[in-house]
Structure 1
Amino acid sequence: MDKPIIAVDMDDTICQLVKRAIYHNNINFPTHPLRYEDMLHWDTSHLRHPESTHDVFYGRPGLFEELELYDEYVVEEMEKLNQAYDLIIVTAAEPRTVVEKWNWLQKHMPFITADQFITCKRKYLLGFDLLIDDGAHNLIAAHDLGRKVLCIPHPWNVKEREQYGFPLMSTWHGAKEYIDRMLETVNA
């Protein structure tokens, strides 16, 4: 029997994008400091300095290579998942960020191969048994198709996770065992 497919997002799921973008924003625009807790929606234009467009906020060259790991457990747990399941990394990326994201993966998770790395914004189009993501739009689309989802909680997905009652994973500690339990019905 084929192994269940686990699709894992990158940004703010296995690495910390928004916190790093905020760090650079606050250095470049000290008159408009941002806090992680204020990031209640994807559209943060009302919070940022007028010159800090979406492209400026997320477009710093090298940004995606300097991101911190989500937590101290993520690499070990991802390696366990990679051994037990058919693991794919599915990340939204612009052409200029694809190489940076790949470089980050190879630095921190060299066990991920090129055929496991997929750039895609409409993740629901892919066939997977479980999606681990922070983006409510991705979780909702997968949920509505009857797929299992696991939400990484952040301020920008509070409303949707409360509305949909998504299962949560706020740390990667024990992730493999948690996911094993979630997928028992898939394996049966």
Structure 2
Amino acid sequence: MRKPIIAVDMDDTICQLVKRAIYHNNKSFPTHLLHYEDMVDWDTTHLRHPDSTHEVFYGRPGLFEELELYDEYVVEEMRKLNDAYDLLIVTAAEPKTVLEKWKWLQMHMPFIKLEQFITCKRKNLLTFDLLIDDGPHNLIPAFEGGRKVICIPHPWNRQQREQYGFPQMSSWKGAKLYIDEMLLPLGLHI
């Protein structure tokens, strides 16, 4: 019998990307300060200084290596998931950020092996039993396709959380038990 496949996003799911990008934006453009609560959409052009393009906001060299863990529980819970399930890290990445993301994973979660690390923007093309993500563009196709999802709540997914009623996880504390309970009715519990 195969282990259930759990696909886990990186940015703003197991690490804090937007908060760090805001920090650097606010240092570089103090006349156009951003706040986490203002990030209500993926298109943030209306919030930034004209010189703070998508490339500038997310393209700072080394940004992805300096990200903080999502919370104090994420490493241990990811270790438990890795032991119990077929765990995949599925993250959108620009070619220049792939190595940074891999280095971050190895620094914080060295139990994740290279064959578990997939860079992909169109996650709905992959096979998984459960997706843990913050991106509505990933959660909606999986949910509508009949797959289990867990939404990591952020201001940019509030509308979709309300519309679709996604199961949510605002902390990684107890994540393994929560996931076990979600997969039990499918006969996928480990």
Aligned-residue offset at 1:148: 0.3
Cα shift at 1:186? 2.8
What is the identity, as a one-letter code, of the residue corresponding to 2:65?
Answer: E
Give the superposed CA RMSD: 0.6
Provide the rounded CA distance (Å) in 1 between the counterparts of 2:119 and 2:178: 26
Give the percent of matched residue pairs that are identical in Structure 1 and Structure 2.
78
Q: Is the 8 A contact 1:151 1:168 kept in 2?
A: yes
Paired with 1:61 and 1:156, the residues of 2 have a C-alpha distance of 24
**1:138 matches 2:138:** yes
Query: Aligned AA for 2:182?
Result: M
Residues 4, 186 of structure 1: 8 Å contact kept: no
Give the CA deviation at 1:139.
Answer: 0.2
Residue 124 of structure 1 aligns with an amino acid whose one-letter code is N
| SS at structure 1 position matched to 2:112 | coil
* 2:119 counterpart residue number: 119
State the AA in 2 paired with 1:70: Y
Which residue number in structure 1 is paired with residue 61 of structure 2? 61
CA distance in 1, matches of 2:29, 2:43: 18
User: What is the match of residue 163 of structure 1?
Assistant: 163
Query: Cα offset for 1:144?
Result: 1.1
Amino acid at match of 1:34: L
CA distance in 1, matches of 2:172, 2:64: 20
Which residues of structure 2 form unaligned runs of 5+? Answer: none
TM normalised by structure 1 equals: 0.99
- Partners of 2:187 and 2:6 in 1: CA distance: 13
